[in-house]
Chains A and B, each alone.
Chain A
Amino acid sequence: MQEVFDIQSTDEFQDGNEMQVVAFKLGNEEYAVDILFVQEIIRLLNITRVPRSGENIEGVINLRGNIIPIVNLHFEFNLQTSENQEAKRIIVFKLDEYQVGIIVDEVSEVLRIQGNNIEPAAKVYGNLEADHIRGIAKVNERLLILLDLAKIFEAGW
């Protein structure tokens, strides 16, 4: 099982493959997601609490008439959220069948990452815990955690 996973992962991040990511901060950690999934990045707006939903659901927002659920990744990853409200943003992702947003403490930048700079998750972590992580990207001296969105949002509920 470990073998298979490794092979797949290395395939994905072969040398010369380049991917664009949006880098953002959750607490003190830096994360990144494939830009292809990002629909837009907006300032914080009123989030309506949805009673009886999971604790990882922050609530829903109105984005031009569409109701979009907001997932609380701080809760999911057990991270502290920053005090600086000004820098906070909502990143709205567009997945196959639905849209979903997350609150981030700060959006850093859009980056190009070379495939050979990405370390498959399984090599860094064990195999089980790192399910939602596609890999760790090294950009200069920074380490970015590359998230696997589909896994996160499927697992959440």
Chain B
Amino acid sequence: MDMTQYLDVFLEECKEHLGNLNQQLLVLEKNPGDLVALNEIFRAAHTLKGMSSTMGYEDLADLTHHMEDVLSDLKEGQLQADSYVVDTLFQCLDRAQLIIDQIESSGTADYDNQDLIEILSKIKDGHYSDAIPVSEERPQLNVKNELEASFDFALNAYDLTVLKEAVLKEYHIIALRIAVDPGSLMKSVRAFMVFKALEDDCEVLKSLPTVPDLEDGKFDQTFDLIVVTQTPVDIIIDRLEHISEIKVESYQMLEVDQLATSRPKEVEIPAKGQPEESTDIKKSHKTKHTVRVDIDRLDNLMNLVGELVMHKGRLGQIATSRKIAELNETMEQIDRVSTDLQSIVMKVRMVAIEQVFNRFPRMVRDLAKDLNKEIEFLLEGKETELDRTVIDEIGDPLIHLLRNAVDHGIEAPAVRVANGKPRRGTIVLRARHEGNNVYIEVEDDGAGIQTDRIRQKAIDRGLIGSKEAEEMTNEEAIELLFSPGFSTAENVTDISGRGVGLDVVKSKIESLNGEMQVESKPGEGTRFKIKLPLTLAIIQALMVSVRDEIYAIPLSSVNETTILLQEEIKMIQNQEVMVLRGNVLPLYRLDNLLEVPGESQSEELYVVVVRKGDKQVGLVVDTLIGQQEIVIKSLGKVLAGIPGIAGAIVAGDGNVRLILDISTLF
């Protein structure tokens, strides 16, 4: 059977599974007993194995098969997810990525994975090649009791899920040790009576020994139960004590945190303080019904919807001019449907930023390890949605900022402790919606930006003079970070500081019609704030006309508009200028710039003050038509790269209008 037609789907899914594996493995590393993560990892690895062997990529199948072996031992508690095991698994994922990359580029894979497979086998056999001792306290499903009695239950994932549910519904979880009088002749009957007594308002989740054993009387003087109930514990105990020959020897209310912390092999049960955790877990369990769609098809759909809306407008005009009531009613219906249609199509193009964020935890972890730093990496607002086009572009700038935060921001643990900070640094990557924008922040609690060092560096590099440096405010000094070829790390490391600096990040963000800001407090940390439009496909624009032609200027480059009389224009060195609140701005006439045929008649000139880099420039147009939301379209390959033209739009009347690109117009 020819599998090549499935190759794209296979690769796509492999990448998804690998991403998921990386993510869950990080969770597992943090919390070696996290059964949910472990199950997720197991499932993903299993799927990966199945897919690759179906597609005939035996190398990959073999590798994942051995991973699966180790994972299943982890699941059964025969192995512990210590750092060596996790590292090895990470290495396997990296190798799998390499294999997949190779498959993508050449269609075949040829990797010798024997080295990793050997390590995996050794781990499975319990022989660690690096002789890392198996930790003495092997995690067990113990409930350590502060009271004398210790309960020892083997809880499986199902039990834990039930417990979790119980906690959410505010049930009590009680561990009971019940003693049967040694003189009792029919222990099994007594046990049965205990169950009978609990039957009404409690659920016996677990018993030790098991229920059949109890019924056969196969137990000593005591047996243990975990009971989930809403009834107060004293009532239950009272009830049990009324059964003859039965005594409740000890009991313990199992607390949520206890389950979470004292039992590493268990699912973290959400305590009150962390409600997000629980929703997270729930979300990941929700099966999503999705269809993969080529982005081109979505673009086409969007085009067609745009057309529909346009023709609808024309139809509406006919309806009003001809005064046909029946048509008017129908038009209103069509109006409603097409508006819904439009917003759905827009939504379909939106992608959760999760897609970009998910690869960062692994990256930060690896970086931190390389640099011997301890870093807690937090992601917030992963579900924030952005247009696909922005998502594709935002990855690299964020990588750069995160690398910066790890490398320059967070101090070495010893330094942090010396400064009275927690050993572990924290980096937060946060995304949120606000109006028509998305804000992304990279925040660290590191040393902050040391403006003195920036000043010094700038002087050394000849960017500014020493006098200038002294007069500079701290904010201005921080701005220097964005000048080309600037890097303040004392050691040029592999991670950052190769001169490809923040200036690149900034210009990238600006090319996405975004803005970037830095806030920094010495000793407390730094925050990079990026503001991005929700979508690149739709922007706000100012429509202007020059003679018969109409152009759109992105509102993000417009500062203000003003009216000017012909005689207010001054000449400086053959350049037309205007004075705006004391500032002298150069004036450019759009008709000259674009060689628009015809002459301007008007005495009054409209000036659009636009931003080009840091400078303001006045753009003279005939009239201002107004602000409008426009859907950007590319001019296509044939007309790409015309300076000053950023793209085109289809206006309401069906005509094509061009969008000006201010940065390349003059």
Please list the residues of chain A having a beta carbon within 8 angstroms of any beta carbon in chain B. Answer: 45-46, 48-53, 57, 59-62, 64-69, 97-100, 153, 157
Cβ contact within 8 Å between A69 and B306: no
Cβ contact within 8 Å between A67 and B307: no
Residues of A close to B593: CB separation below 8 A: 51
Cβ contact within 8 Å between B657 and A68: no
Cβ contact within 8 Å between A53 and B303: no
- Most B C-beta atoms less than 10 A away, residue of A46, A48, A100: A48
B634 within 8 A of A: yes
**Minimum CB–CB distance for B122 against chain A, Å:** 53
Question: What's the Cα separation between A59 and B596 when bound, in Å?
Answer: 13
9 closest cross-chain pairs (CB), A and B: A65-B303, A51-B594, A48-B656, A65-B307, A69-B638, A62-B650, A98-B637, A67-B648, A62-B656
Q: Which of B643-666 contact A (CB under 8 A)?
A: 643-645, 648, 650, 654-658
Cβ contact within 8 Å between B635 and A69: yes
B633 within 8 A of A: yes
Residues of B close to A53: CB separation below 8 A: 639, 642
| Total contacts A-B at CB 8 Å | 74
Minimal Cβ-Cβ distance residue in B for A64:
B307
Cβ contact within 8 Å between A67 and B595: no
Knowing A48-B657, A52-B594, A98-B638, the reply to whether A64 touches B303 (Cβ < 8 A) is yes
B9 within 8 A of A: no
**Minimum CB–CB distance for B589 against chain A, Å:** 13
B98 within 8 A of A: no
B636 within 8 A of A: yes
The interface size of chain B toward A, counting residues with CB under 8 Å, comes to: 27
Residues of A close to B657: CB separation below 8 A: 48
Q: Which of B256-303 contact A (CB under 8 A)?
A: 303
- The 18 listed contacts between A and B (C-beta, < 8 Å) are A46-B654, A48-B655, A48-B656, A49-B549, A51-B593, A53-B639, A60-B639, A62-B650, A62-B655, A64-B307, A65-B303, A66-B303, A67-B635, A68-B636, A69-B635, A98-B637, A99-B636, A153-B638
Knowing A60-B648, A66-B303, A100-B638, the reply to whether A52 touches B643 (Cβ < 8 A) is yes
Question: What's the Cα separation between A64 and B306 when bound, in Å?
Answer: 9
Residues of A close to B642: CB separation below 8 A: 50-53
Please list the residues of chain B having a beta carbon within 8 angstroms of any beta carbon in chain A. Answer: 303-304, 306-307, 549, 593-596, 633-639, 642-645, 648, 650, 654-658
Minimal Cβ-Cβ distance residue in A for B597:
A49
Cβ contact within 8 Å between A69 and B594: no
Residues of B close to A67: CB separation below 8 A: 633-636, 648, 650, 656
Minimal Cβ-Cβ distance residue in B for A99:
B636
Minimal Cβ-Cβ distance residue in A for B660:
A51
Minimal Cβ-Cβ distance residue in A for B546:
A51
Cβ contact within 8 Å between B655 and A51: no
Residues of A close to B644: CB separation below 8 A: 51-52
Residues of B close to A157: CB separation below 8 A: 638
Residues of B close to A100: CB separation below 8 A: 638
Can you add 20 more A-B contacts, CB < 8 Å, to A69-B635, A157-B638?
A48-B656, A48-B657, A48-B658, A50-B639, A50-B642, A50-B645, A50-B658, A51-B594, A52-B594, A52-B643, A52-B644, A52-B645, A60-B648, A61-B656, A65-B306, A65-B650, A69-B636, A97-B637, A99-B636, A100-B638
Residues of B close to A62: CB separation below 8 A: 650, 654-656
Minimal Cβ-Cβ distance residue in A for B653:
A46
**Minimum CB–CB distance for A53 against chain B, Å:** 6
Residues of B close to A51: CB separation below 8 A: 593-596, 642, 644-645, 658
Cβ contact within 8 Å between B637 and A46: no
Minimal Cβ-Cβ distance residue in B for A52:
B642
Question: What's the Cα separation between A69 and B645 when bound, in Å?
Answer: 14
Minimal Cβ-Cβ distance residue in B for A157:
B638
Question: What's the Cα separation between A100 and B595 when bound, in Å?
Answer: 24
Question: What's the Cα separation between A51 and B633 when bound, in Å?
Answer: 17
Residues of A close to B637: CB separation below 8 A: 97-98
Question: What's the Cα separation between A45 and B656 when bound, in Å?
Answer: 11
Minimal Cβ-Cβ distance residue in B for A68:
B636
Cβ contact within 8 Å between A46 and B655: yes
**Minimum CB–CB distance for A72 against chain B, Å:** 13
Residues of B close to A50: CB separation below 8 A: 635, 639, 642, 645, 658
**Minimum CB–CB distance for A60 against chain B, Å:** 5
Minimal Cβ-Cβ distance residue in A for B549:
A49
Question: What's the Cα separation between A60 and B306 when bound, in Å?
Answer: 18
Question: What's the Cα separation between A67 and B642 when bound, in Å?
Answer: 15
Residues of A close to B304: CB separation below 8 A: 64-65
Question: What's the Cα separation between A121 and B408 when bound, in Å?
Answer: 67
Question: What's the Cα separation between A68 and B634 when bound, in Å?
Answer: 10
Residues of A close to B638: CB separation below 8 A: 69, 98, 100, 153, 157
Residues of A close to B635: CB separation below 8 A: 50, 60, 67, 69
**Minimum CB–CB distance for A19 against chain B, Å:** 26
**Minimum CB–CB distance for A59 against chain B, Å:** 8
Question: What's the Cα separation between A28 and B505 when bound, in Å?
Answer: 57
Question: What's the Cα separation between A134 and B633 when bound, in Å?
Answer: 34
**Minimum CB–CB distance for A50 against chain B, Å:** 6
Residues of B close to A97: CB separation below 8 A: 637
Question: What's the Cα separation between A49 and B9 when bound, in Å?
Answer: 43
Residues of A close to B645: CB separation below 8 A: 50-52
Residues of B close to A46: CB separation below 8 A: 654-656
- Most B C-beta atoms less than 10 A away, residue of A50, A61, A98: A50
